[in-house]
Amino acid sequence: MTDAPAIRVTGLTKRFGDRTVVDNFDMEVPKGAIYGFLGPNGSGKTTTIRMMCGLLTPDDGTGSCLGYDIRSESAAIKANVGYMTQKFSLYEDLTIRENLDFMARMYGLKNRKAVVTDTLTELGLLDRATQLAGTLSGGWKQRLALAACLQHDPRLLLLDEPTAGVDPKARRDFWDEIRRLSRKGVTVLVSTHYMDEAIQCDHIAYIAYGKKLISARAQDIPAQIGLTTWRVDGPDLTPLEDELLALPGVEQVARFGAALHVSGTDKAALDKVVAAQKARKTHSWQEKPAELEEAFIYLMATAVDNFAGSTA
Partner 1 sequence: MSLFSVARFAAVLVKEFIQMKRDRVTFGMMIGIPIMQLVLFGFAINNDPHDLPTMIEMNDASPTARAVLAGMEVSEYFQFVGVVTGQEDGDRALRDGRANFVVVIPPGFERDIIRGLAPQVLIAADASDPTAVSSAVGALQGILDVAVKQSLTGPLQAVAGSPAPFSVVVHKQFNPEGETATNIVPGLLAIILSMTMVMITAVAIVRESERGTMETLIATPVRPLEVMLGKILPYVFVGYVQTIVFLIAAQVLFAVPFTGSRLAFFVGFNLYIVVNLALGFLISTVARTQMQAMQISFFTLLPTILLSGFMFPFAGMPGWAQTIGSAIPATHFLRLVRKVMLKSADMADISGDMAAIAIILAVITTVSLLRYRQTLD
Ligand X SMILES: Nc1ncnc2c1ncn2[C@@H]1O[C@H](COP(=O)(O)OP(=O)(O)OP(=O)(O)O)[C@@H](O)[C@H]1O
Contact residues for partner 1, defined by CB under 8 A: 50, 53-57, 75-76, 78-79, 81, 83, 85, 87-94, 98, 102-103, 105-108, 148
Say which entry of ligand X, Mg ion, partner 1, none residue 21 contacts (CB below 5 to 8 A, set by partner kind).
Answer: ligand X
The C-alpha atoms of residue 267 and residue 135 are separated, in whole angstroms, by: 54
Say which entry of Mg ion, ligand X, partner 1, none residue 190 contacts (CB below 5 to 8 A, set by partner kind).
Answer: none
The least distance separating Mg ion from the CB of residue 140, rounded to whole angstroms, comes to: 21
The DSSP annotation for 87-124 comes to S--S-TTSBHHHHHHHHHHHTT-TTHHHHHHHHHHHHT
Tell how strand 19-29 and strand 7-16 pair up: antiparallel
Of 41-49, 100-108, 128-136, 267-275, the segment contacting ligand X by CB under 6 A is 41-49
Phi/psi class of residue 284: alpha, beta or left (left: φ > 0; alpha: ψ in -120 to 50)? beta
**Which of 207, 197, 213 lies closest to 49, judged by CA?**
207
Say which entry of Mg ion, partner 1, ligand X, none residue 55 contacts (CB below 5 to 8 A, set by partner kind).
Answer: partner 1
Q: Which is nearer to partner 1, 102 or 194 (CB)?
A: 102
The least distance separating partner 1 from the CB of residue 257, rounded to whole angstroms, comes to: 41
DSSP 8-state symbol, 54: T
Query: How many C-beta atoms surround the C-beta of residue 105 within 10 A?
Result: 11
The C-alpha atoms of residue 188 and residue 250 are separated, in whole angstroms, by: 36
**Which of 311, 298, 198 lies closest to 250, judged by CA?**
298
Residue 163 one-letter amino acid: T
Of 36-44, 94-102, 214-222, 267-275, the segment contacting ligand X by CB under 6 A is 36-44
Say which entry of ligand X, partner 1, Mg ion, none residue 44 contacts (CB below 5 to 8 A, set by partner kind).
Answer: ligand X
Is residue 42 involved in binding ligand X (CB under 6 A)? yes
Is residue 45 involved in binding ligand X (CB under 6 A)? yes
Q: Count of alpha carbons within 13 Å of 238, Cβ hemisphere only?
A: 0
Q: Which is nearer to ligand X, 40 or 264 (CB)?
A: 40
The least distance separating ligand X from the CB of residue 24, rounded to whole angstroms, comes to: 15
Per CB under 5 A, the list member of 20, 46, 64, 252 interacting with Mg ion is: 46
Of 42-50, 74-82, 99-107, 294-302, the segment contacting ligand X by CB under 6 A is 42-50
Within residues 71-130, the interface with ligand X by CB under 6 A covers 86
Of 80-88, 145-153, 195-203, 214-222, the segment contacting Mg ion by CB under 5 A is 80-88
Within residues 3-32, the interface with ligand X by CB under 6 A covers 16, 21
The residue whose Cβ lies closest to ligand X is 46
Number of residues forming the site for ligand X (CB under 6 A): 12
The least distance separating partner 1 from the CB of residue 94, rounded to whole angstroms, comes to: 6
The C-alpha atoms of residue 249 and residue 272 are separated, in whole angstroms, by: 8
CA distances from 242 to 157, 246, 254, 271, 303 (A): 43, 7, 11, 18, 20
Is residue 86 involved in binding Mg ion (CB under 5 A)? yes
The C-alpha atoms of residue 209 and residue 203 are separated, in whole angstroms, by: 20
The least distance separating ligand X from the CB of residue 50, rounded to whole angstroms, comes to: 8
Q: Which alpha helices (H) appear in 159-302, and where do they start and end?
A: 168-183, 195-198, 221-225, 237-245, 267-280, 292-302
Query: How many C-beta atoms surround the C-beta of residue 180 within 10 A?
Result: 10
Residue ranges in contact with ligand X by CB under 6 A? 16, 21, 39, 41-47, 86, 307
